[in-house]
């Protein structure tokens, strides 16, 4: 009898059971049903699976936000700020200190014009011709003729000076010698508005006068006044006014000295505690503001020193400290 093989190198295919036609249909039906159940179990329409997906996405989003907050954006350092400033300065033209100071004070500077009758103007010219001594910085005197003779009572422009608005109601500081003896005073604001003005106060020892304008611009801006306590020689200053009637004009310089004394030839008195400066000033600058690089008023330009009879600038000007000027207007000192 033949022994059965214990090992075979090849496997024989399992015999397939013979199914009847009815058995095949039943099997196919069972297979489709099972596939349908599996497909439904893993479909996204399943609420459990949908909420699971939402939960996973929320966890992932929270983790991402937490990581971003933890790491964060790099904080700006002083080196970053300095680099940005340097870049701006290299790529854009910045206004100078003097230009910024001028823009700050310009809306507060006014042109002051005094008018007298022709007969009085002739007398003043005769008196002025007698003296060849240095004079305080006076108004710019017009050079045109006096008009037809016989109209002695007609008003003519006697001179042009400068003023600065210190209270936005139209209170203006200027020099007394700009408006002294005038029959009429007119001021012109930075926007071109013209108005008459009256003298409401004087401080003769400091050659100061306070004017009140009859009308003012709607957007009147008063100057900012600053204490002179921290001024020192070498500090930059700007003088703004109408030299020889031209302006407003600006000239820059430095504080040359403090607590100077100037003797007025006309007044025969010593003006004390003056600020000496070297910013150019000429007739017409009288009463104008002397300002810092912030555009803040520290003085009222009042005189120049010139050892000749020519009233022109040679490098030494004087201004009344704003503390004195403020008291002339009834304002408390700083």
Asked if 199 and 211 touch (Cβ cutoff 8 Å), the reply is yes
Q: What is the pLDDT of residue 325?
A: 82
Measured CA to CA, the distance from residue 326 to residue 334 in angstroms comes to 9
Report the C-alpha gap between 237 and 294 in whole angstroms.
Answer: 9
Whether cis (ω within 30° of 0) applies to the bond prior to 179 is no
Alpha helices, DSSP H, located in 92-117: 97-105
Respond yes or no: is residue 286 known to be catalytic.
Answer: yes
How many alpha carbons lie under 13 Å from residue 202 in its C-beta half-sphere?
11
Tell me the pLDDT tens digit for each residue of 51-99: 777 777 778 777 766 665 555 566 778 888 888 888 877 777 777 899 9
Active site annotation includes 158: no
Q: Which of 158, 207, 251, 278 is catalytic?
A: 207
Please state the pTM of the whole predicted model: 0.67
Cα(327)–Cα(255) distance, integer angstroms: 22
Please state the length of the chain: 334
Taking the alpha carbons at both ends of the chain, their separation in whole angstroms is 137
Q: Read off the tokens for 41.
A: 């179990």
Closest CA to 216 of 160, 166, 261: 166
Strands (E), 153-293: 155-167, 171-175, 184-188, 194-203, 208-213, 236-241, 249-264, 269-277, 289-291
Catalytic residue list contains 191: no
| Residue in 114, 158, 177, 278 annotated catalytic | 177
Q: Tokens 């003797």 label which residue?
A: 263
User: Which domains does the chain possess?
Assistant: 95-334 (2.40.10.120)
Ranges of the chain whose pLDDT falls below 50: 1-2, 5-11, 13, 15, 18, 20-22, 24-28, 33, 35-42, 44, 126-135, 143-147, 149-150
Burial of 258 (0-12, 13-18, 19+ CB in 10 A): middle
Q: How many other C-beta atoms can be found within 10 angstroms of the C-beta atom of residue 150? A: 8
């Amino acid at each position: 009898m033949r022994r059965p093989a214990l090992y075979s190198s090849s496997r024989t295919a399992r015999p397939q059971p013979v199914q009847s036609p009815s058995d095949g249909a039943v099997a196919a039906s069972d297979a489709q049903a099972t596939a349908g159940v599996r497909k439904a179990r893993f479909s996204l329409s399943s609420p459990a699976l949908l909420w699971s997906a939402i939960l996973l996405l929320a966890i992932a989003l929270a983790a991402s936000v937490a990581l971003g907050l933890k790491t964060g954006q790099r904080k700006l350092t002083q080196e970053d700020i300095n680099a940005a400033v340097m870049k701006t300065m290299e790529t854009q033209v910045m206004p100078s200190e003097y230009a910024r100071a001028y823009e700050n004070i310009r809306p507060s500077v006014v042109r002051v014009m005094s008018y007298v009758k022709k007969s009085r103007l002739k007398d003043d010219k005769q008196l002025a011709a007698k003296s060849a001594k240095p004079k305080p910085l006076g108004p710019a005197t017009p050079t045109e003729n006096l008009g037809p003779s016989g109209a002695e009572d007609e008003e003519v422009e006697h001179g042009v000076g400068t003023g600065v608005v210190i209270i936005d109601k139209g209170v203006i500081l200027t020099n007394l010698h700009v408006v002294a003896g005038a029959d009429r005073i007119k001021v012109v604001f930075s926007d071109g508005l013209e108005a008459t003005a009256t003298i409401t106060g004087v401080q003769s020892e400091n050659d100061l006068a306070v004017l009140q304008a009859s009308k003012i611009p709607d957007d009147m801006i008063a100057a900012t006044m600053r204490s002179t306590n921290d001024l020192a020689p070498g500090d930059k200053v700007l003088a703004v006014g109408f030299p020889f009637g031209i302006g407003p004009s600006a000239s820059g310089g430095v504080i040359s000295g403090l607590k100077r004394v100037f003797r007025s030839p006309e007044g025969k008195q010593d003006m004390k505690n003056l600020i000496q400066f070297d910013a150019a000033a000429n007739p017409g600058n009288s009463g104008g503001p002397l300002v810092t690089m912030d555009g803040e008023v520290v003085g009222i330009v009042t005189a120049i020193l010139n050892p000749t009879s020519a009233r022109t600038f040679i490098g030494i000007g004087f201004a009344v400290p704003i503390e004195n000027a403020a008291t002339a207007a009834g304002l408390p000192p700083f």
